[in-house]
Amino acid sequence: MDPHSKLILWRVIRIDRQTREQSHPWIGIDPSTDNIPPEDLEAIIRIVKQRRNHGEILKYRRHFRDMEPDFSQVTADNWPLTILLHEYFEDDAGQQVGIAEFMDIKLNQTGTIVMGDPGSMLRIGPTHMANPETWTVEKANDIQHFLEVVDFLCKSEWINTPTGEGDKDGKGKWGFHTPNLYVLNSVLVLIRQLYADKDNVFGRAVRIYLEHGSDEGKRFWVTERRQRFNETLEAEPILLGAGLNMTAKRVLRLFLYGFGLIHWGERDRDLADAFRKMVEEHGRAKVLMAFQSTLQHLVAYANHVFFPIAQDFSHWMNTGYARPNRVTLRELLG
């Protein structure tokens, strides 16, 4: 069946601003009856079929209307095109709302902090420094370095390079894709700094912030994100790492030292053997997914902590507290 004649369905999460009731209606487009500009319909079908980045559909929300599809009439030939957008919320007028505003409406309050949504926490705004008498240039250096590392990681080519099965070239060539060696190695040293015992860039920045941050909501946010960061390292890898029977931290160690991405030497021979056995037992795709998903989750939690620290650190520096005196990565390398 021609995709241009298929129903296009999208199930949304909706909140009524007056009653505060939550619903999950279907909205959709019926190309056979709805008057949609051809170029918009083409764009919508392209977005739905690509199976990724369905967020692009938001610009076409105006073309969708409430529907009650009759699934009893669905066959293999006329199966609807469906949109999956987990974090989209709207009000009863069909206007998009963020998760924090959604929860404010639902709970009839303001200032709700939603874990995983930095924007909800940033609504608190910059706050004053606690314990200013113990603030030092060294602490400013540590905070600034953490912010630089996370900023670089989140703007890297690696962060936007997927790992997994999919369309490799946008032309229907299906296969397993993963960042190449150059893209991967551009971030490994910095990610290692976040969690390695000798560097502990993430842990040190969190400790400093918890000493000097004055807002309890922000402190709770940072503490919880630190807990999730540490739990990620000590648990089995997320996603397809299940069944490896080792912690994510162990998987990182095998890749960095047993595989030779960071070090290769006499002391790493046992790790090299363990890495080879892991790949032989579980296969290339599974171990790469375990490795990449661990790196991505660590950077995600560090990025969540980045926001409150960056907001307050900027305020503190503008207030006149001791500033960092290190040479920044950007100053030297651009």
Question: What is the share, in percent, of the chain residues with pLDDT greater than 70?
Answer: 93
Whether residue 264 lies inside any domain: the answer is yes
Q: Based on the domain organization, do 156 and 244 belong to the same domain?
A: yes
> Which band of pLDDT confidence, cut at 50, 70 and 90, is reported for residue 3?
low
Q: Based on the domain organization, do 255 and 191 belong to the same domain?
A: yes
Q: Which two tokens stand for residue 202?
A: 């993430």
Residue range(s) defining the domain that contains residue 319 = 128-333
Among the candidates 85, 112, 139, a domain finishes at 112
Q: Which two tokens stand for residue 104?
A: 């404010």
pLDDT value, residue 239: 58
The 10s digit of each residue's pLDDT in 128-167 is 999 999 999 999 999 999 999 999 999 999 998 877 766 5
Q: Based on the domain organization, do 72 and 134 belong to the same domain?
A: no
- Count: domains in the chain: 2
Question: What is the share, in percent, of the chain residues with pLDDT greater than 90?
Answer: 63
> Which band of pLDDT confidence, cut at 50, 70 and 90, is reported for residue 173?
low
What string of DSSP letters covers 18-69?
A: TT--EE--EEEE-TTTS---HHHHHHHHHHHHT-S-GGGGGGGGGG-EEE--
* C-alpha span between 64 and 77 (Å, rounded): 22
Average pLDDT over residues 86-93: 90
Q: Based on the domain organization, do 153 and 210 belong to the same domain?
A: yes
Q: Based on the domain organization, do 149 and 201 belong to the same domain?
A: yes
Q: Based on the domain organization, do 171 and 93 belong to the same domain?
A: no
pLDDT value, residue 146: 98
Q: Work out the number of other CB atoms within 10 angstroms of the CB of residue 276.
A: 13
Nearest CA among 39, 97, 34, 44 for reference residue 67 = 34
Q: Is the pLDDT of residue 171 over 60?
A: no
Whether residue 120 lies inside any domain: the answer is no
Q: Is the pLDDT of residue 2 over 90?
A: no
Whether residue 152 lies inside any domain: the answer is yes
pLDDT value, residue 164: 73
> Reduced to 3 states, what is the DSSP secondary structure of residue 269?
helix
Question: pTM to 2 decimals?
Answer: 0.77
Residue 13 β-bridge partners: 89
